[in-house]
Structure 1
């Protein structure tokens, strides 16, 4: 017999095709009726597989709903050549997202070059991006290929795009539209095929209103905009990230297996994380250094109270009245370096110090565990 219910369509094929014979079987013998097979034809919707939740995506970690959406967005745009504008607060991982797009693109076997536009001197950034000819300026003793030429066939990330001078934005717009440019001091037109990804921690529309970003460039960059959620909107990811960073630190040491106390984990979950993932990573590292075996609540709060970074473009340090001047200066220098991702030249400029003075201060701090944990490995190597 056949059931024609459109949602459930079993087919029973008995030892006989005679319907009368099947119906005539005594009730007590129905259980032994010799069916040859039982076939189910279920609707496709009934067997659809639910999407799995990813806890990581390459070097990006997170299992929250906002991060699952981000992963799906990257999957969509990565195979294309669309220009991408990544918007996110400082410390959210804009470079990681850009690199993930590159690694999942058809350019993945080519070079990926990340550039922080705010970390290069305004006098040098044009030559760094587009190269220069020999003799084009004092010290230009040979022809130099810029980042765009070196990234040919690959991907280039222009981080902090709003820090680029408006006159240079015009040249960038030409590269995006025509794929051509000239080196500084030259007139030869160079054509390259490069995928451009831009990133900023500012509101792009606000940057346009302030005259820091050309409106036509914004439209050209934001062919496919991506917004990275701040850590405060990813509550369920905080503990996952903390354990990930702690695991990396444990693995880097011999016979070390430090862990968080329950109170410490509760404190992590309750914090607002204005510095986002970078703040969490630095805090775990500092606490790892201070802890013996168990990372306690008090250690976390102590480290977090020393340097407090507020969201938005306004950043402040808070000190107790009576804090020694040398200690306040040390915290200010370390926090400024951390804010500018270890860029000493930019930090010195903002602090009103000469680069030499900044290096002298860093040499004084190099043995202090709190400074060593507050800087990136590359910065510590520079002091060695």
Structure 2
């Protein structure tokens, strides 16, 4: 049962609010000033706080620093002076809404009904499980195989809690979609969800991107910049490819997790933040620790609740379900009515899908483009993917006299074909960065410059 704290020096206001809240089946506690309010916070952390802005011993906004936002505490301020300034200041400080005296009790009920509560989340998760049985959907995720059912069970358990989550799975298995689903089923869902690819940011800029910087802190810093931790305050931060984060920055990340404090580049002023972290990697995290790619102490902080996302080849009929969903999306977007032929479905089921869901989506899009207008989606696809099956141990033959440039091109093209055009995987196998791979592909005319 949700708990509400009412802070106001007027007893009649407190009693009227308590009566309105009680009608919704919520428990209440009351306080006449900040001192009493802080005592109540120690006794029981509320789900919602209604507080007057003007109290005998300070401002109601002083309670912001005492509230445990990690558990989704929401604050509504009360003011007797209906000015734009007081409302805006309260909202800037983190309030979700404000009430003007005399208080409209119908407005109070509307606010309470709009707030996420743990019980609401459980009910919503139950609804999602119903959709899963009927349509194969769970939030933003699609699939009904036994291995995905296990994933949904784990997400259902961890999403309403404040626990950090570590998502482990091959490239293209849908780690970001899983992270978004966790966020949407959490008490933080009214706040920001920000995704950061730690492997796609220059090592020279990643600290600035994560924590922000002050104007003039380095060459080119012509304005103040708020980093991901500041912008995601109250919400969820998704750190993809966490093992690609420089070790020296991992130390600073660990400190933020432990203290909730960070500093923008170019200043010594500490800023408080409250984010839920969801990390992801396509590598074995314990192996990354052994190789010195991931700090052991940071791994333990992030790995509170690990979830393994299965590769598409282990998901059985989910391949057909996903392919049809992608085709339906393309048909709706383009005003077409293209269909899969039975032979295509069989090839989809037989293919190993090294690039997982991402590769499947790309295949369906290419096939949709290349098919005719007769209303049937044919199996004609670019040479990078052959649905007839292939030898996974195939060789690239380089004849004597071939230039190094031609040999390099053949090797890159063959690797890209092997991994379904997934650049991250191809670059990893070739031992080069994705940036270098893109440069080579543009040089060889494989992609546009």
Corresponding position of 1:257: 337
Q: Please point out which of 136, 141, 144 is paired with 2:225.
A: 144
* Kept after mapping to 2: 8 A contact 1:264/1:296: yes
- For 2:349 and 2:218, the matched residues in 1 are separated by 54
Corresponding position of 1:57: 138
- For 1:303 and 1:218, the matched residues in 2 are separated by 37
* Kept after mapping to 1: 8 A contact 2:409/2:444: no
- For 1:186 and 1:317, the matched residues in 2 are separated by 55
Compute the displacement of 1:258 (Å). 1.2
TM-score by length of 1: 0.70
Question: 1:217–1:83: structure 2 CA closer, same or farther, 3 Å change rule?
Answer: same
Residues 1-384 of structure 1: pairs in structure 2 closer than 5 A? 53=133, 55-254=136-335, 256-292=336-372, 293-297=375-379, 299-300=380-381, 302-305=383-386, 331=413, 338-340=422-424, 347-350=434-437, 358=442
Question: 1:228–1:309: structure 2 CA closer, same or farther, 3 Å change rule?
Answer: farther
- For 1:318 and 1:288, the matched residues in 2 are separated by 30
Corresponding position of 2:14: none
Corresponding position of 1:24: none
Compute the displacement of 1:64 (Å). 0.5
Question: 1:167–1:310: structure 2 CA closer, same or farther, 3 Å change rule?
Answer: farther
* Kept after mapping to 1: 8 A contact 2:366/2:382: no
Compute the displacement of 1:273 (Å). 1.2
1:101-120, Cα deviation, whole Å (9 max, x unpaired) = 00010110111000000000
Flag structure 1 segments of 5+ consecutive residues without an equivalent: 1-50, 367-382
The structure having more radius of gyration, on CA atoms, is: 1
Flag structure 2 segments of 5+ consecutive residues without an equivalent: 1-128, 428-432
Compute the displacement of 1:350 (Å). 4.0
Question: 1:317–1:217: structure 2 CA closer, same or farther, 3 Å change rule?
Answer: farther
- For 1:251 and 1:300, the matched residues in 2 are separated by 21
Question: 1:133–1:112: structure 2 CA closer, same or farther, 3 Å change rule?
Answer: same
Aligned length: 304
Compute the displacement of 1:145 (Å). 1.1
Q: State the secondary structure of the residue aligned to 2:287.
A: helix
Compute the displacement of 1:301 (Å). 8.5
Q: State the secondary structure of the residue aligned to 2:239.
A: strand
- For 1:160 and 1:201, the matched residues in 2 are separated by 7
Compute the displacement of 1:332 (Å). 7.4
Compute the displacement of 1:137 (Å). 0.9
* Kept after mapping to 2: 8 A contact 1:263/1:296: no
Q: CA RMSD in A?
A: 3.4
* Kept after mapping to 1: 8 A contact 2:396/2:414: no
TM-score by length of 2: 0.61
* Kept after mapping to 2: 8 A contact 1:162/1:200: yes
- For 1:212 and 1:95, the matched residues in 2 are separated by 21
